[in-house]
Amino acid sequence: MTSLVHQDLAGGVATVTLDSPSNRNALSARLLAELKERLSWALAEPGCRVIVLTATGPVFCSGADLKEQRASREGGKAPVTASLPEIFTLLWESPKPVVCRLNGTARAGGLGLVASCDFAVAPLSASFAFTEVRLGVVPAMISVPVLRRLDPRAAAEYFLTGEVFDAARAAEIGLLSRAVPEEELDATVAHYAEMLAKGGPEALAITKRLVREVPALPFGEGLRRMTELSAERFASEEGQEGIAAFWEKRPPKWAPR
């Protein structure tokens, strides 16, 4: 049986690729199971410093496999997308930075994958839509990562209307990090991966949490906790190595060779 998700490791970058172009990389039960397996591999792989999530074909992900979803409901089985929360969590809480390289268009559930990654880069030709309400359903599970990215007014606009919007608009409202010409896509993703690999692995994991958690802290408590964390990191083995490498004008031990 042909795999629907592939994995590759080169230069510290683990690339996880959705490969079901015949149904526009729809979120079928088998694709989700394989995606979970490949992401778990990347997270456990010592040689992986950065994860890139991408896909084959003209569409990154069209959302839930509606044909399979309908058959599952008629058969009294659990929804096909029941494992999506676990996958969103793997991406969101990954201690390793995750870059989403959108090869093209994304819809509905596919946008949950995009929003769960730390960075998202798409070609200007890509389009996006939260189509759930037009099917009489709601963007429920994906709202958890997506609403942490989108401007609130934009979220209301596109969640409620289901209107298609382009990549430039997606970047403007926070769904994407960058929207670039198609010929610049790979170079932009490679730039992110290269920059991320220069950071200390522990420092990157902790900084990911800072970005999510610090804005919700009361100002005084935030300063107190961050003062303690700053002292811990300067005294840490990784912090000491980074400072020594700076003064000795050499790459730190974790830097790609």
Which pLDDT value is given to residue 68? 86
Which pLDDT value is given to residue 70? 72
Mean pLDDT of 231-248: 97
**What would the 3-class secondary structure string for the chain be?**
CCCCEEEEEECCEEEEEECCHHHCCCECHHHHHHHHHHHHHHHHCCCCCEEEEEECCCEEECCECHHHHHHHHHCCCCCHHHHHHHHHHHHHCCCCCEEEECCCEEECHHHHHHHHCCEEEEECCCEEECCHHHHCCCCHHHHHHHCCCCCHHHHHHHHHHCCCEEHHHHHHCCCCCEEECHHHHHHHHHHHHHHHHCCCHHHHHHHHHHHHHHHHCCHHHHHHHHHHHHHHHHHCHHHHHHHHHHHCCCCCCCCCC
Do 122 and 179 touch, CB atoms closer than 8 A?
yes
Band of pLDDT at residue 97, cut at 50, 70 and 90 = very high
The phi-psi region of residue 79 (left if phi > 0; otherwise alpha if psi is between -120 and 50; otherwise beta) is: beta
Mean pLDDT of 136-148: 96
Compute the distance between CA of residue 180 and CA of residue 189 in angstroms, rounded to an integer: 10
Mean pLDDT of 185-209: 96
Do 193 and 51 touch, CB atoms closer than 8 A?
no
Q: Which of 190, 191, 194, 202 is nearest to 242 (CA)?
A: 202
Q: Which of 147, 156, 186, 159 is nearest to 54 (CA)?
A: 186
Write down the mean pLDDT value for the chain: 94
Cite the active site residues: 132
Which pLDDT value is given to residue 74? 57
Compute the distance between CA of residue 249 and CA of residue 257 in angstroms, rounded to an integer: 15
pTM score, whole prediction: 0.94
pLDDT, tens digit, for every residue of 58-92? 999 999 998 887 766 655 565 667 889 999 999 99
Mean pLDDT of 113-142: 97
Which pLDDT value is given to residue 196? 96
Which pLDDT value is given to residue 76? 58
**Per-residue pLDDT at 133 exceeds 80:** yes
Mean pLDDT of 40-68: 95
Mean pLDDT of 28-47: 96
